[in-house]
Amino acid sequence: EAYIDAIEGANGALNAYVCITPDKARAMAKASDEKIAGGEAGALEGIPLGIKDLYATQGVHTQSASHILDGFEPRYESTVTANLWADGAVMLGKLNMDEFAMGSSNETSYYGPVKNPWRKTGSTVDLVPGGSSGGSAAAVAAHLCAGATATDTGGSIRQPAALTGTVGIKPTYGRCSRWGIAAFASSLDQAGPISRDVRDAAIMLTSMASTDAKDTTSVDRPVPDYEAAVGRSVRGLKIGIPKEYRVEGMPGEIETLWQQGIDWLKDAGAQIVDVSLPHTRYALPAYYIVAPAEASSNLARYDGVRYGLRVPGSNIAEMYENTRAEGFGREVKRRIMIGTYVLSAGYYDAYYLRAQKVRTLIKRDFETVYADGIDALLTPATPSAAFGIGDEEMNSDPVKMYLNDIFTVTVNMAGLPGIAVPAGLSGDGLPLGLQLIGRPFDEETLFAVGSVIE
């Protein structure tokens, strides 16, 4: 009831939820009460969560924050949310996001932007919470849920977590099932939690992760008890500092934060090693070829026939065109156009195939440092603190907006786990985060090291 009251009080201002499900929450909480009374509580029994609108929730609003899915209520439940409910979690509602998870500021949502609960000291200017999981991050930061699900294709868990002072982990590709999560770029998409601290993220991920016959890219390996790794000693661990992440124009306070993180880890007994990931600077351009290419294919299914919006036309082709013209927003259309262009017969080799080769080189960079005994890498999570809603510079040129993902996309390109943890405040009082990148399926080290930093 406290969370429902908090949502009703604050959501008008923050726009974090696109749909609130109080009746469902009360029914689920009641069932949890009975389980607790009967001595059979699950790991998340009675814990109220918010769910990113990208996740299919049976009989409940699921629109990926897009006009094209108007009125869609799936008949099935995503595997990740089904896992959470099976462990006793309670659903508060669906969270705002960038349309189809395309964006870094939550400004591409059909439902309008989400406001970051944080403001600069003494300022009344509203800031973005980051994206695409901006609703998840804002809701967790403002106590409108105890934790939230999110997804990360190029940084959408870690970047909003960093900009709102919350924790977000993108697990290794394949750790969580993608079944029932609207596909953006299938080879990059991963589910993960946004939470108030590292321990909560560990508890949530243990529940969310699973092997799933319905997603053949989910891996068949046991899910560790991630919570056990929280607070584990980091003495003797080798932490790599990739020099290529010291990008030009990086604000001084991000440099300082990074150094602070290095000092904390040294004090905790970790060994700091300078490393090189030479292909880092190609990651962002390659990502913005691979991700739109896959998106253009995945989004072909929204045609006005099967679900959501249908805008009539004089024949079926016109109906497709009218529906897609009206149903998709500007950024989604831009991605579809880039994607179809780089996949087209004349340009496939020059763009898509090249980007895939670059992807392999990026992956090898990481394999090399891990083969040298590095346990995890420490980098900034974002190149700056939160910026203003409607920021002219960011919105005047899509490439400027894409630069927000400079530290996060490599992790998706290589399929690795990455966590963002709050590490301090900017000079004007905004949260800043650091990122840890791990070895494949070694989320445990990220939880151990992350708990030293937070």
Catalytic (active-site) positions: 52, 132, 156
Q: Coil, helix or strand for 48?
A: strand
Strand partners, 60: 57
Pairing of strands 431-438, 147-152: unpaired
Nearer to ligand GLN, 102 or 205 (CB): 102
User: Contact 158/194 with Cβ under 8 angstroms?
Assistant: no
> 271: alpha, beta or left, given left = phi > 0 and alpha = psi -120 to 50?
beta
Neighbouring C-alpha atoms within 13 Å toward the C-beta of 379: 30
Which residue's CB atom is positioned nearest to ligand GLN? 156
Residues in the site for ligand GLN, rule: CB under 6 A? Answer: 101-104, 132, 152-156, 184, 291, 405
In angstroms, the CA 299 to CA 182 distance is 9
Least Cβ distance, residue 368 to ligand GLN (angstroms): 25
Nearer to ligand GLN, 101 or 229 (CB): 101
Alpha carbon 351 to its chain's center: 26
In angstroms, the CA 57 to CA 173 distance is 22
Least Cβ distance, residue 265 to ligand GLN (angstroms): 26
Q: Say which residue the tokens 């290529």 belong to.
A: 244
Nearer to ligand GLN, 63 or 104 (CB): 104
Least Cβ distance, residue 152 to ligand GLN (angstroms): 5
Alpha carbon 48 to its chain's center: 19
Instruction: Specify the DSSP class assigned to residue 65.
Output: T
Nearer to ligand GLN, 4 or 150 (CB): 150
Pairing of strands 167-170, 147-152: unpaired
Least Cβ distance, residue 419 to ligand GLN (angstroms): 15
Least Cβ distance, residue 408 to ligand GLN (angstroms): 7
Q: Which residues contact 220 (CB under 8 A, 6 or more apart)?
A: 211
Least Cβ distance, residue 432 to ligand GLN (angstroms): 18
Nearer to ligand GLN, 21 or 384 (CB): 384
Least Cβ distance, residue 412 to ligand GLN (angstroms): 7
Least Cβ distance, residue 304 to ligand GLN (angstroms): 24
In angstroms, the CA 342 to CA 256 distance is 39
Please report which residue ranges of 38-109 form alpha helices under DSSP H: 79-86
Alpha carbon 439 to its chain's center: 19
What are the CB-based long-range contacts (under 8 Å, 24+) for 77-80? 77/180, 78/177, 78/179, 78/180, 78/181, 79/176, 79/177, 79/179, 79/180, 79/210, 79/212, 79/214, 79/215, 79/218, 80/55, 80/149, 80/176, 80/177, 80/180, 80/181, 80/191, 80/208, 80/210
Nearer to ligand GLN, 99 or 227 (CB): 99
Between helices 22-37 and 2-14, what is the axis angle to 10°?
A: 150
Nearer to ligand GLN, 51 or 241 (CB): 51
Nearer to ligand GLN, 152 or 442 (CB): 152
User: Contact 382/409 with Cβ under 8 angstroms?
Assistant: no
